[in-house]
Structure 1
Amino acid sequence: MNMVRWSQMMDHHFGIFSILLFHLTMIELLQPFRVASELISSYVPIVALAGDDVILPCQLQPAVSVSSETLLWIRPGLDLKYTYVHRDGQPMLMGQNPSYYNRTALFVDQLMNGNVSLKLFRVKLSDAGRYTCIIDSKKMEASVQLIVGAASTPVVNITGFDRGPVVLQCESTGWYPEPEVFWLDGEGNLLSAGPTETVRGPDDLYTVSSRVTVEKRHSNSFTCRVQQNSTNQTRETHIHVPDIRMHQQDDEKKAVVLFKRNQKVKEHDVSERSCEDDPMLNLKKKQLEDQGDQLESVTVL
């Protein structure tokens, strides 16, 4: 009886051992076909504006927890290249570049999902460059390029309205890199303008200004567009100019009236003494004054 039980027990254990051995064998056989994890970042440059916060992506795929790993973010070319160090489950200030103190962080709750992305706060122009994410123990790394720009809305003013042709001036400060300036009419057509004036300040930011003369054939709505292609930034300001045609017609009417007045003055160009001596001339002067004309010259032919 005991021998039977012993035999049954041995058969049971042997069965379990056989199943375990089978599973281990299958794991070994399938080992070459397992997908190795890879550290991936963005192949496209990340664009940020000065003063904004930005995320530099870095992800382990397939996802594997990196909570207990030593994680590094570096920026090659700096004297102190470490922009962030994560060791023993917490950030380390030792060795970190002072320029990045209190401006970098990981998504700690996402480390178990293999997310090693870096959040950079209050971006500066000097932050532009290439960053590398490293999982130290796995000898894995991935790089991403950060482009930093600056932009501002242009200001448009009307000049020369009372002195002749209508001239529009556009100015925009605080750009980086150097932008371009374009003028458009109400239908979106480009206008021919003078060369753009560019000044670079001590803070490396650019100020640009441009002028355009508005002609009679144009509509009364105009746009100053400032754009920077590498940062994909565009700022526009629209302006409506009072009726240009009416203004020009008024100028023409004023010129005609002035011409007629000058003609009248020439026709009656006499001296004050002659008017006093000749009652007829004095009467003519009085009639001209009553009509609103001014006789100011005192010239003797």
Structure 2
Amino acid sequence: MMKQLPLLLLFSLLTGNSSACTNADSKVISTEGTDVILPCSPSTRENLQNKLFDWKKVGQGGATHHKVFMWDSAVHYDRHSGQSEQFKGRVSHFQNELQHGNASIVIRETKVIDSGSYSCVFPKLQPREEFCIELVVSASPKPHVKTIDQANSWSLLQCEVHGAHPEPKVEWRNSSGNILPAEEPQVSERGGSYDVILQTTVTKTDNYSCVSTQEEIKHQISAETLVHISGAASEPHVTILEETKDWSLLQCEVLGAFPKPLLQWTDSSGNTVPAAEPQVSERGGSYDVTLQTTVRKTDNYSCVASQEEIKSKPAHIYVSLSGEEPERRSGSITGWIILSAVLGAVLFVVLVVLVVGGIVVVRVVSKDRNKLNQLNEKIEKLEDDQKKTSSQDTLPADSVADPPENKILLESDQ
């Protein structure tokens, strides 16, 4: 021990208290409570058994804060006075790997406070070599969610994340994954760990999640809570589960509803679409209901959830079937309109021809009848004159023959 301390003091004088470690050569991510290896080797990969290397934890701005581990020709500190209290009894090296140039160290049971920049220095090598390693010790606690206030038409939810590192991004989301409007998060820091509180007010019955995301370590964790709003109906969610060119399988889903809702599929005309038996499950006094239907026509379909006197806003979905007949897909009503217009035009032309023809016939017949009447009047006058002449003659009455009927009749009068 007495021999070791002067050597450590000499090492401190040789290396000084400054470090040029500004940009990390590598980044190591560890989870709090686990062991982590910080790698380091000189470029020459030479035997380090009789060499000198030193590990330090570098503070912001390049100032050295903590001495982590030192090796100098089999003399090193671990649990000794030269080592920072934070690392005593927690750091070791790879004794059997020194001959292969391995100067890596192991930090056991990492803590969030261990996060930061570390320098591994070979001060006696020519040229001097220094390597920088950034250590991120992550703490990713699961969010805690609770309802802190509520009424018939709303609930105030609070999400708390305690002791997280790196600082997490906290969000509230509904069952569809949409981010909800929320208050400004309340953030506090202690010992490198972060506490975050986020509140939001919801007005619909649904499953809500608080999501904590730490982008730096690519980690995400969430907690869920079911909220029942008695004064509002749960909105249905509709999806296409499966489809071909001839049919589509639609699904309508309502989560966390109370009282138990009645689901119904309708087409664009408001007609009820036949569906399978609804699938109903109950949890905590709330109901999850799923209703499926198979449709074979291109149309807009709607799913409506009704709860006694409460009716939700319908959820709509458009279905286009490529295998449907073109006439049906483009709209049979349009075809009937065109056909009716053509038939109407033809009928109109026929009626016009008939009416015009009738007027001509009537006029021709009337004109001929007037001439006929005049001719008959002349014939009758001639007959009367003939009778008068015959009555003056002495011929016997029976010798006089009846005159023939000379009236001219129109063919139409016969």
TM-score range, shorter chain: 0.5 to 0.7
Distance 2:148 2:84 in 1: 50
Matched, 1:118 2:105: yes
Matched, 1:155 2:144: yes
The 5 A counterparts of 1:49-198 are 49-61=31-43, 63-76=45-58, 77-78=63-64, 81-92=66-77, 93=80, 95-138=82-125, 139-160=128-149, 163-198=152-187
The 5 A counterparts of 1:266-285 are none
1:111 is aligned with what amino acid? L
Deviation track 1:237-266 (CA, whole Å, cap 9, x = no partner) reads 12334586254899x9899xxxxxxxxxxx
Which of 176, 193, 203 aligns to 1:215? It is 203
Cα offset, 1:209, TM superposition = 1.8
Q: What secondary structure is seen at the aligned counterpart in 1 of 2:64?
A: coil
**CA 1:165/1:94 → structure 2, altered by over 3 Å: closer, same or farther?**
closer
Greater relative contact order: 1 or 2 (C-alpha under 8 angstroms, separation 6 or more)?
1
Cα offset, 1:145, TM superposition = 2.2
After superposing on structure 2, the runs of 4+ consecutive aligned residues of structure 1 that deviate more than 4 Å are 159-162, 246-250, 252-255
Cα offset, 1:130, TM superposition = 2.3
Q: What secondary structure is seen at the aligned counterpart in 1 of 2:171?
A: strand
Cα offset, 1:123, TM superposition = 2.9
State the number of aligned residues: 210
Cα offset, 1:119, TM superposition = 1.2
**CA 1:75/1:172 → structure 2, altered by over 3 Å: closer, same or farther?**
closer
Contact 1:71 1:85 in 2 (8 A): yes
1:95 is aligned with what amino acid? G
Cα offset, 1:62, TM superposition = 5.7
What is aligned with 1:236?
Answer: 222
Higher strand fraction (1 or 2): 2
Distance 1:207 1:233 in 2: 17
Distance 2:90 2:192 in 1: 22
1:91 is aligned with what amino acid? H
The two structures, once aligned, show a CA RMSD in angstroms of 3.4
Deviation track 1:110-138 (CA, whole Å, cap 9, x = no partner) reads 22222211212233444333222123432
TM-score by length of 2: 0.43
Contact 1:148 1:231 in 2 (8 A): no
Name stretches of at least 5 consecutive residues in structure 1 with no aligned partner.
1-40, 256-301
What is aligned with 1:227?
Answer: 213
Deviation larger for 106-115 or 118-127: 118-127
Distance 1:129 1:160 in 2: 40
Contact 1:59 1:114 in 2 (8 A): yes
Distance 2:149 2:84 in 1: 53
Distance 1:198 1:173 in 2: 10
Higher helix fraction (1 or 2): 1
Contact 2:24 2:117 in 1 (8 A): no
The 5 A counterparts of 1:9-20 are none
Name stretches of at least 5 consecutive residues in structure 2 with no aligned partner.
1-22, 234-256, 262-306, 311-414
Deviation track 1:57-89 (CA, whole Å, cap 9, x = no partner) reads 11245643322322211234236x531112333
Contact 1:69 1:136 in 2 (8 A): no
